[in-house]
């Protein structure tokens, strides 16, 4: 019986699923494009990805190269831009020279890579762990759910940056450990989102149907429930990238994340923070870059939330 029916179900299902997912994405895409703010967000992200990919070609200098003896530049020299009247016999440094006589513009371009990697990797980690925990809790209920959600409550009871600082202290300062700490701290948000969706989807008719047709736990959870719980996760994930980049920059600013001479925006800002009155360009540019990146992911996340919200369905018609 089971052998006879299951291929048909699979066939039917894959057809309906692909149809549904295509239309959903199309609607989402259309709605995203209609919003100016999400367009701006996507534009900035695209630009950042381009910069990250082409950094070695567009950066005028090596980000780690100390320019003493190579060029006639001073420590923390202000930006020199030929178009804005800087004498052409001086070497051009769009964002000036940092405390170790390196070209700040090149360091900033390379920093894009690290920020994007930080955002995506911590969120991926948190989504994977959070989804597994949330799905287990939501699907099985009972003591498993209770135990998982109480642990999540405790994690949420600490201000996230403080917990991340404490975890980095235990693991030791460094970029990888900072990523791990931020990842751990953001798990509860995803676990909660997934659990809530699983709880509501678990009772849907199509899930009962799969169960009645003899589908096992794996098929039900990974084939039926989780794909349908994806929407809130995408929104949460996009906004999560913004938070992760901000928190990672804060940890590096405090000296617990990326270590010098790594070109990381938070760490660049942190090492030069006492020079804000004498060399403001060393503080302004890295901070502005952090703000712009976080803003882009926030705009896209907000746009996605509105675009994927079924209550706003009429807008797309």
Residues contributing to the site for another protein (CB under 8 A): 37, 150-151, 153-155, 157-162, 165-167, 169-170, 172, 242, 246, 249-250, 253-255, 266, 269-270, 273, 276-277, 280, 283-284, 286-288, 290-291, 294-295, 298-299, 302
129 neighbors 182 (Cβ within 8 angstroms)? no
The residue (of 4 and 170) whose beta carbon lies closer to another protein is 170
Give the residue among 87, 83, 91 at the shortest CA–CA distance from 60.
91
| C-alpha span between 102 and 297 (Å, rounded) | 29
Shortest Å distance, C-beta 166 to another protein: 5
The residue (of 230 and 295) whose beta carbon lies closer to another protein is 295
Shortest Å distance, C-beta 59 to another protein: 22
Residues constituting the chain: 317
Helix (H) or strand (E) holding 267: helix 265-271
| C-alpha span between 308 and 40 (Å, rounded) | 18
Shortest Å distance, C-beta 302 to another protein: 8
The residue (of 45 and 207) whose beta carbon lies closer to another protein is 45
Shortest Å distance, C-beta 116 to another protein: 15
The residue (of 63 and 266) whose beta carbon lies closer to another protein is 266
The residue (of 167 and 258) whose beta carbon lies closer to another protein is 167
The residue (of 56 and 280) whose beta carbon lies closer to another protein is 280
Range 83-115 burial, b when 16+ CB lie within 10 A, else e = eeebeeeebebbbbbbbbbbbbbbbbbbbbbbb
Shortest Å distance, C-beta 250 to another protein: 6
121 neighbors 115 (Cβ within 8 angstroms)? no
Q: Which residues contact 295 (CB under 8 A, 6 or more apart)?
A: 41, 44, 242
Shortest Å distance, C-beta 277 to another protein: 5
Beta bridge partners of 68: 71
Shortest Å distance, C-beta 29 to another protein: 21
Give the residue among 25, 31, 101 at the shortest CA–CA distance from 70.
101
The residue (of 58 and 154) whose beta carbon lies closer to another protein is 154
Place of tokens 């719980």: 229
């Amino acid at each position: 019986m089971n052998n006879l029916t299951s291929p048909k179900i699979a066939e039917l299902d894959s057809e309906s699923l692909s149809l549904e997912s295509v239309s959903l994405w199309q609607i989402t895409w259309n709605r995203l494009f209609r919003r100016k703010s999400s367009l701006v967000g996507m534009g900035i992200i695209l630009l950042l990805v381009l910069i990250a990919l082409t950094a070695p070609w567009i950066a005028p200098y090596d980000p780690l190269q100390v320019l003493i003896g190579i060029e006639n530049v001073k420590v923390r020299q202000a930006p020199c831009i030929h178009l804005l009247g800087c004498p052409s016999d001086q070497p051009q440094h769009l964002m000036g020279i940092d405390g170790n006589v390196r070209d700040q513009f090149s360091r900033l371009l390379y920093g894009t890579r690290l920020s994007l990697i930080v955002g995506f990797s911590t969120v991926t980690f948190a989504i994977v762990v959070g989804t597994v925990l949330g799905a287990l809790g939501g699907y099985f209920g009972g003591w498993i759910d209770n135990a998982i959600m109480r642990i999540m409550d405790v994690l949420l009871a600490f201000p996230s940056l403080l917990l991340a600082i404490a975890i980095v202290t235990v693991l030791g300062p460094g970029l990888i450990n900072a990523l791990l700490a931020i990842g751990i701290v953001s798990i509860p948000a995803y676990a909660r989102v997934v659990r809530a969706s699983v709880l509501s989807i678990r009772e849907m008719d199509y899930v009962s149907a799969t169960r009645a047709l003899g589908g096992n736990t794996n098929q039900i959870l990974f084939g039926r429930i989780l794909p349908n719980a994806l929407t809130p996760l995408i929104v949460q994930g996009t906004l999560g990238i913004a938070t992760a980049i901000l928190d990672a920059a804060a940890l590096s600013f405090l000296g617990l994340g990326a270590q010098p001479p790594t070109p990381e925006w938070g760490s660049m800002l942190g090492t030069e923070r006492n020079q804000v009155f004498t060399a403001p360009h060393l503080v302004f540019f890295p901070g502005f870059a952090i703000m712009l990146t976080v803003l882009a992911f926030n705009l896209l996340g907000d746009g996605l939330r509105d675009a994927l919200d079924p209550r706003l369905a009429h807008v797309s018609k």
